[in-house]
Structure 1
């Protein structure tokens, strides 16, 4: 992560507005046809939520703006992205888990399985650290999309 001059980015105006916001966050909502993901999930045995997270990460990785985040009064540019997801824990609670973004679906799936499994068992959230720009995702935890399959 390194500091960048906000005026040298396409985010100059947004940065100026963010500096006055208590929490610099943008929420994107869009209706998507996920039929191809459902088919791939069934055909290859992938978890549907993993596929959604991978698609979010893959799309974000191709957009320069996702690597920028105000930290304090500075604009920081990250080299790495992660997707954060909500995981149900063994005791029925919830915790969050950062998964590093990879363009390779198989690698992302391995990381997703390992890290969400670890969070499910331990009940403790997992964070990758400050070198990652983390894209938050959310869903209602007690629904099928987030249930951990044993």
Structure 2
């Protein structure tokens, strides 16, 4: 079978040389049959490089359009946001105050009171020692914030 050359095939391109306009004309007017025309067109596309690469052309266009559209959306959101703000009236104002935790304490006796005779400065002295209590602290309510009414600014 004879190897097809591009110069042997009748086809036409648009001004930009897009693949979308070449392929239908290629298949419609090809005298060599559909399979042969596709093989020849594929080799022609490989020779020409990116000229007929639809993905490359469209992906660049898509990337540019995405960045333009995102910029337009962000800019419009920045201008529209103040217009959408709710213009209400102040009814009451409150300040936030911290209330510390409250603890419950229990005492329990560690050492009872005692009286003891001791020798001091050459004489006997009766000493009194008070009882010793230990304190156990338990948190009954954790610290929290409370809103208190305040004048509005």
Q: Which is strand-richer, 1 or 2?
A: 2
